[in-house]
Amino acid sequence: MTDSDPVRLYRTVRLIRRFEERAIDLVRAGEIVGGIHPYLGQEGIAAGVCAALRDGDLVTGTHRGHGHVLAKGADPARMLAELCGRVTGLNRGRGGSMHAADLGVGVLGANAIVGAAGAILTGAVWARRRRGDDLVGATFFGDGAVNEGMLLEAFNLAALWRVPVLFVCENNGYATTMPVAGAVAGTIAGRAAAFGMPATAVDGQDPEEVRATCAAAVARMRAGGGPELVEARTYRFDAHHTFEHRVRLDYRPPEEVAAGRSRDPVDIQGARLPLSVRESVDAEVEAVLDAAVGYALASPAPDPATALEHLYASGLTARTGGG
């Protein structure tokens, strides 16, 4: 069943927030190489959408995907170990921040090619339902993806074949540095309308509003409805990628950033709980993340001799590159 418990919703938002802050610390400490795309500010979307789903439902995430994977139920310790490139990571150190995924909890990959995952999820949901499984899917993407032809093709396939996929657009206002106004002709909802898909806009900063809106859409889909689109308006609190901590890019006015940060999903959901409950959740989350950091840093790096492992599911072995 979907989970409308405000405490659990708060816990998920808080977990993602503190996970990301600790991950940024680990980037700065050199423990996470390659940096991350922080999900800070957008936590309410992953938390709200996944609270509207069941355990058996499927999702796909993005390069800014830590929140999706955590909200769907992956173990934060193995997630953090993956970011640190450790053999105990979700992907055995083969995926890293952009691809960290746990198929065991229904995350069919975190896909770093913008707009690519919608068609993959549509195929997966279609195939599982054809087999008789009662499930739906949710695919996350940003405002940049709405200009990718592949995603629009996926809208068409899902609508044409009535595959119950919730297309979740996390509109944070920028595709890397490109503002929506400079990139999107027409509207995001208008793209859905063109394919006969219902579209709803929600305040992505309010986890409960996201949850309630998505729960209603998911209920319609489970009742036999086709795909729907939810446009969650949000704001990215931090950099597109942590490289911006070193290289300042001038594309967001400081007053806009301040205004965006003033609507914090952690505070919005936290304000719905008694202070004592909030403090107790915070402490519990901190303990989980203390353990996660400890687990990740104590885990071994993969053996270089295993670099070609998992390249082929069939057991095929590739020639090595040496002379």
Binding residues for other proteins, per CB under 8 A? 58, 89-95, 99, 101-104, 108-109, 111, 113, 116, 119-128, 130-131, 149-150, 153-154, 156-157, 160, 309-316, 318
Count other Cβ atoms within 10 Å, centred on residue 283: 10
Angle between helix axes 76-83 and 275-298 (nearest 10 degrees) is: 50
Nearest distance from C-beta of residue 295 to other proteins, angstroms: 17
DSSP 8-state secondary structure symbol assigned to residue 195: T
Nearest distance from C-beta of residue 95 to other proteins, angstroms: 5
Please identify, using beta-carbon distances, which residue of 92 and 220 lies nearer to other proteins: 92
Please identify, using beta-carbon distances, which residue of 283 and 308 lies nearer to other proteins: 308
CA angle 46, 252, 23 (to 5 degrees): 45
Distance CA 69, CA 76 (A): 9
Please identify, using beta-carbon distances, which residue of 9 and 229 lies nearer to other proteins: 229
Nearest distance from C-beta of residue 210 to other proteins, angstroms: 24
Nearest distance from C-beta of residue 79 to other proteins, angstroms: 13
CB neighbour list of residue 248: distance below 8 Å, 6 or more residues apart: none
Residue spans of alpha helices (H) in the chain: 6-28, 43-51, 66-71, 76-83, 117-130, 149-160, 188-194, 207-222, 254-261, 265-270, 275-298
Strands 178-179 and 174-175: antiparallel
Please identify, using beta-carbon distances, which residue of 291 and 311 lies nearer to other proteins: 311
Which residues are bridge partners to 170 per DSSP?
Answer: 142, 232
- Enter the tokens of residue 257: 């950033």
Nearest distance from C-beta of residue 256 to other proteins, angstroms: 34
Please identify, using beta-carbon distances, which residue of 40 and 151 lies nearer to other proteins: 151
- Enter the tokens of residue 197: 């898909």
DSSP 8-state secondary structure symbol assigned to residue 233: E
Nearest distance from C-beta of residue 122 to other proteins, angstroms: 6
Please identify, using beta-carbon distances, which residue of 89 and 204 lies nearer to other proteins: 89
Please identify, using beta-carbon distances, which residue of 27 and 90 lies nearer to other proteins: 90
Nearest distance from C-beta of residue 283 to other proteins, angstroms: 32
Please identify, using beta-carbon distances, which residue of 185 and 316 lies nearer to other proteins: 316
Nearest distance from C-beta of residue 110 to other proteins, angstroms: 9
Nearest C-alpha neighbor of 176 from the set 144, 141, 150, 140 = 144
Distance CA 14, CA 255 (A): 25
Distance CA 48, CA 3 (A): 9
